[in-house]
Amino acid sequence: REAPLPLPTARSAAGTSRRAPERHGLSLDFYAKTCPAVEQIVGNVTAERFRDRPASGPAVLRLFHHDCFVEGCDASILIAPTTGAKAGEAAAARAVVERDTEENRNLPQYGFDTVEMAKAAVERKCPGVVTCADVLALAARDFVHLAGGPHYEVKKGRKDSKVSLAGKVRGSLPRANSTVDELLRVFAAKGLGAGDLVALSGAHTIGFAHCAHFVGRLYDFRGTRRPDPFMDARLVKALRMTCPYTGGSARAVVPFDVSTPFQFDHAYYDNLQARLGVLGSDQALFLDARTRPLVQELGADKARFFKAFVASMDRMGSIRVKKGKKGEDFFVTLCHWLEDQSLDHDAI
């Protein structure tokens, strides 16, 4: 067993200077001249959505994660799917864009709508300036804060992608049944460490999961026909009420955090220590000797969690940010712009 790895510090990620542009070219004042009110404009939309449709918060936070982990934070996740009623049966069999894949198919529409609303509001005030990737990063930040989490500054300057390819998704995103080895590998491939893995998993302090992601733990853990011994028996019982082994609703969801499902706090880590993790991948963070000390550390101190989360969000938000060449900038006014266009993927 390897020694536990250190948590990322604010200095290693979030505490970068205002003036010096970083390697990836993101900066806090990127829109200072071209759209000084961008944060306020996005903030008005997210605040309204948080009131009218609170589930938008976790949905957008997850969208940001799924965007950054596949081809970097470039809004590739937002490009509209080709499947569904519109594209017909033939296309349904053939995943084309990222959203068509199994991993992304259950991302709720209201999350996409929220980003689109924020982008539309920004376009009205500063047309042709702010990218979808930056709007998504800002909206995710807003929802963390609205749910009681930390407020942090977001660096901006991400370019949007011209393409979204289903084939890039497989293997890039962590899965509910991933082992810690697999989680560490997926995160390492994005330049993120064990500390980032544990801190960012704390996002599961809000939001919901569909039964399919953990039903095996309730009835037939690794072929034993018994529930997962590392899930509290009362939680097994409670989750079974929502999630029957067979014949349940594919739409049924349960909260990740049994104690404070709507509050962005550090209860997630206490839950893991009490065997109240819903996903196998969550619970595994406490069972593995490499990540357990980090779980304990963040569970013991909310301020410590907030600091680690902010630092790791900054890193996640900087994954493979694209640098546009002068004169070659690509800009969209609608984040799901691909919908009615046919794009020859082989030509790109």
Binding mask 36-75 for ligand HEM (x = CB under 6 A): ----------------------xx-xx--x----------
Query: How far out from the chain centre does Cα 126 lie?
Result: 27
Least distance to Ca ion, CB of residue 78, Å: 9
Nearer to Ca ion, 65 or 213 (CB): 65
Question: By CB under 5 A, what part of segment 188-227 binds Ca ion?
Answer: 205
Of the candidates 76, 281, 283, 318, which one interacts with ligand HEM according to CB under 6 A? 281
Of the candidates 9, 34, 40, 106, which one interacts with ligand HEM according to CB under 6 A? 106
Least distance to ligand HEM, CB of residue 38, Å: 22
Question: By CB under 6 A, what part of segment 288-347 binds ligand HEM?
Answer: none
Nearest to 308 by CA among 149, 70, 176: 149
The entry of ligand HEM, Ca ion, none near residue 267 (CB within 5 to 8 angstroms by kind) is Ca ion
Q: Quick check: is 66 catalytic?
A: yes
Question: By CB under 5 A, what part of segment 258-277 binds Ca ion?
Answer: 260, 263, 265, 267
Binding mask 22-61 for Ca ion (x = CB under 5 A): ----------------------------------------
- Locate 248 and state its tokens: 């349940």
The entry of ligand HEM, Ca ion, none near residue 157 (CB within 5 to 8 angstroms by kind) is none
Of the candidates 176, 252, 334, 343, which one interacts with ligand HEM according to CB under 6 A? 176
Told to check if 208 binds ligand HEM by CB under 6 A, we report yes
Nearer to ligand HEM, 196 or 270 (CB): 196
Catalytic residue among 65, 66, 213, 336: 66
Told to check if 108 binds ligand HEM by CB under 6 A, we report yes
Told to check if 258 binds ligand HEM by CB under 6 A, we report no
Told to check if 74 binds Ca ion by CB under 5 A, we report yes
Told to check if 207 binds ligand HEM by CB under 6 A, we report yes
Told to check if 160 binds Ca ion by CB under 5 A, we report no
Told to check if 135 binds Ca ion by CB under 5 A, we report no
**Dihedral sign computed on CA atoms, order 348, 117, 139, 60:** negative
What are the catalytic residues? 66
